[in-house]
Every structure is written in C-alpha cells, then in structure tokens.
Amino acid sequence: MIEFLSKTFPIDYWKDLEKNSSNPIYSTGVELIEYTDLKELIKDENEVKKIISETYDGKIFIVKKAFSKKFIETIKDNFFEFIESQPSSFHKMTESCPDFHRVIDEKVSGNYSIKALKHSAYFFHWNGDKYKLFDEINERWRILKFLGGKKFDEYEKNTPKDGVVDRIQVLKYPPGGSLGTHYDPRHNQKFFISIYASKREEGGDYESGGFFTMSEENKKFDVEPYIESGDLGFGYATVRHGVDKIDNKKNCDWSTKSGRWFIGLYSNDSDEKINRITATNLD
C-alpha cells in the first residue's frame, strides 16, 4: 500500500479545489465505504480525486469495519486502567508532554475553546505507546493523511518543538456528556477524523444524542444511524459538527462504562508554537 500512499498528486488537487471555492460549512450527506474497499480505491487516482472533491463538497465518509471489535474493546479496558493509574490532570503540549487524562466537567470546560463534558485521555508517540495504539491507528491515519494532501507519514515522528504533533484522544462522553457545535482547524489536516467506539441503540451504550453535522443553518443532521463501533469517520474540518447530549441526563455519571466512546485523531499545533490555531466554537 505504501507504494500508492507515496504519491503526492492530492496536494495539487487540493490547491485547485481550495483556490476555486470556499470551504464547506454544511454537510451534504453520508457515504458508507468498507475499509477493505477503501484500501483498493486509493490505488486509483480518479477515485482518490472523487473522494477528495466530495469531502470538499461537504460529504461525510464512514469507513465501515476499519477496526476490529477486539481492538476497540481493549482500548476501553485500557482507558480504565490508565485513569486509575494517575489522577486527572492537564499538561500543555510542550516538549516531553506526558500522556494524561482529564475529567472535563462544568468546572473546567470553560478553559477550552469548545464547551464539552467528557473524560479524555491523551496519548503521544514519544511516551512509549504502552497501550499499542499507534501502529494500528497509523495504518489508517496514513490513508487520511494521503487523501488530505500530506505525506502519508507526515508528523508521525514530530515532537512539540516541531510545532505540530499527532495526538490520539480516547474519550468517553458519559450519560449527560456533550460537545458544542464547532469547526476544526484545517491547516495541519484537512479532515476531522473519528474512530467510533460504541453504538447508539436501545439497551446499548447509549440511546439518545450523539454526533451531528449541520446540514443547513440551524438544521442538525443526525449521523448516528450510520455509525457502528469500529467505524472510522471523516469529513472536511470546516463542516460544522458537535455531539448532542448523551442520554439526556441532567448530571454526568463519570464512573460508568456506558456512554459514547470515541477516539479522535488530530495533528495539533503544539504549545511550542506561537499563535497556535485551535477549534472554533459556534455556540
């Protein structure tokens, strides 16, 4: 696969697209694609251009069965091991930043650019990758870096002093959790990238709320019916999106395993960078 991912034509294709029309704000639907099919499609230049232009048109892609159930369940188990191994804390993304986790409740949510109620664990490759997240995830992330017009292994070895770093965020929106409407920076990566680690269904991890995109002004599009655990979603970063309150609970239950699990992949500006760009809140 590396042979195809080493091609760089998407860079020029993106330049043309972005020069000729403005960034998408609203989503224009969902396209489902099997992970095994995606790996074949990216060998075809025309298919790659089609995916790129559709994302720039506002389409959300859900890559089905991108990760095994076992991989996803192990991540959740490891999350609990990790949060019990150390207290909730916060660290800026400066050189040698450790892996850490933080309960982002009403009290600390105001410190972030987007209002969120969630429990997040953050992992960086330079800390030894105790839970073996990076190899498995990078294999998929590389495809999205390629589609996004970057080198397929761009940023993989970076540390904060380089200005941009890859970060894996494993998080749980507890019952009562949510994320405000926002859009993400597009300068380091073109897409928001989500690994979905639970499913909304009756009697399941959660029964209401979840991921939405804006399909028009003031009109939310519910993406959850298309999502299963193990899927990988991506869309152009400026398409407005958020997470509606999980299970409509007034107060968050931070200890339960139920709720909405999610793994976010982002190449962030580090805190070593002057004028770092973060997400833009719209609520």
Task: Note the residues at the interface with Fe ion (CB under 5 A).
Answer: 184, 192
Minimum CB–partner distance for residue 238 and Fe ion (Å): 10
Measured in degrees and rounded to the nearest 5, phi and psi for residue 117 equal: -125, 110
CA separation for the pair 12, 9 (Å, rounded): 6
> Which one, 154 or 184, has the nearer CB to Fe ion?
184
> Which one, 63 or 116, has the nearer CB to Fe ion?
116
> Which one, 242 or 259, has the nearer CB to Fe ion?
242
Minimum CB–partner distance for residue 126 and Fe ion (Å): 24
CA separation for the pair 120, 25 (Å, rounded): 27
Q: For residue 90, how far is the Cα from the chain centroid?
A: 20
Q: Torsion-angle region of residue 176: left (phi > 0), alpha (psi -120 to 50) or beta?
A: left
> Which one, 42 or 118, has the nearer CB to Fe ion?
118
Minimum CB–partner distance for residue 1 and Fe ion (Å): 27
| E strand or H helix that includes residue 2 | helix 2-5
Minimum CB–partner distance for residue 233 and Fe ion (Å): 11
> Which one, 121 or 239, has the nearer CB to Fe ion?
239
Q: For residue 218, how far is the Cα from the chain centroid?
A: 23
197 contacts 76 by C-beta, under 8 angstroms: yes
27: Cα within 13 Å, side-chain hemisphere = 26
Q: Find tokens 């509606």 and name the residue.
A: 244
> Which one, 1 or 279, has the nearer CB to Fe ion?
279
Minimum CB–partner distance for residue 104 and Fe ion (Å): 14
Minimum CB–partner distance for residue 171 and Fe ion (Å): 12
Q: Where are the beta strands (DSSP E) in 66-209?
A: 100-104, 116-123, 164-173, 178-183, 191-196
Q: Find tokens 């020029």 and name the residue.
A: 12
